[in-house]
Amino acid sequence: MKPAERFDLGGKVALVTGGSRGLGRSMVLAFADAGADVVIASRKLESCEAVADEVTSKTGRRALAVRCNVAHWEELQGLVDTAYGHFEHVDVLVNNAGMSLPYAELEDVTEEMWDRVVDLNMKGVFRLSVLVGRRMLRGSGGSVINVSSTGSIRPTPWILPYAAAKAGVNSLTVGLAHAFGPSVRVNCIMAGPFFTDVTRSWDIPAFEERARVAFALGRGGQPEEVVGAALYFASEASSFTTGAVLRVDGGIP
């Protein structure tokens, strides 16, 4: 196999949570460009359908939009059944859906806030990985890609529920790699700051000034810059890589 051929996803099916925007949308489009059919899942069906239409018009690949709140344990079986019912197999699962809720002081973090953040960022990742990973084991194997955050290893007081959940994702990645090996690989993209719709609430000039000084690349990332890592983990290019947590962060300190 030639080096470029190892990144080919022809005949594969990729399921991406949080696939309607940001990093998820970029990964969906990249997988389709590489030959995969895609399942786009998020809480807003209309947004998923818009990306599905974009996939079909730009690449000619098949795309299925599914409404699902990954934080809700009971909805995940339906997502998996729908994906397998439509495509018969899933070869790549990307656990990308995530969020962080703002708060002014640690005392302002309520139990409801904690549960919402942890349920989406970690509980859902575990449950969906188990549901899909077990079916991959019964089939021809596959790849699970988790999306973590550099906040998991550089936590600040203002993202502690999110940082704790993402640290859990790092741990799940290693444990699930051993649980599902050798035919299913489980890896993690530890994402740094990317300019997505989430960053609209940031003080962008202040961030850019800090990035120029502190980051090795001197800037934040663009969503399409996650694509290389995602294609690596999704494809045969990473056939001897599992349990890995790869920082894609522009060289943050």
Q: What is the Cα–Cα distance from 178 to 240, expressed in whole angstroms?
A: 13
Q: Hey, where are the domains in the chain?
A: 3-247
CATH 3.40.190.150 corresponds to the domain 3-247: no
- Residue 198 scores a pLDDT above 90: no
Q: What is the Cα–Cα distance from 251 to 88, expressed in whole angstroms?
A: 40
pTM listed for this prediction: 0.97
Q: List strand residue ranges (DSSP E) for 43-166, in order.
A: 63-67, 92-95, 142-149
What is the radius of gyration, based on Cα positions, of the chain? Answer: 17
Q: What is the pLDDT of residues 76-90, one digit of tens each?
A: 999 999 999 999 999
H or E, element range at 31 = helix 22-33
Average pLDDT over residues 213-225: 96
Q: What is the pLDDT of residues 14-46, one digit of tens each?
A: 999 999 999 999 999 999 999 999 999 999 999
Do the Cβ atoms of 21 and 198 come closer than 8 Å?
Answer: no
Does the annotation count 162 as an active-site position?
Answer: yes
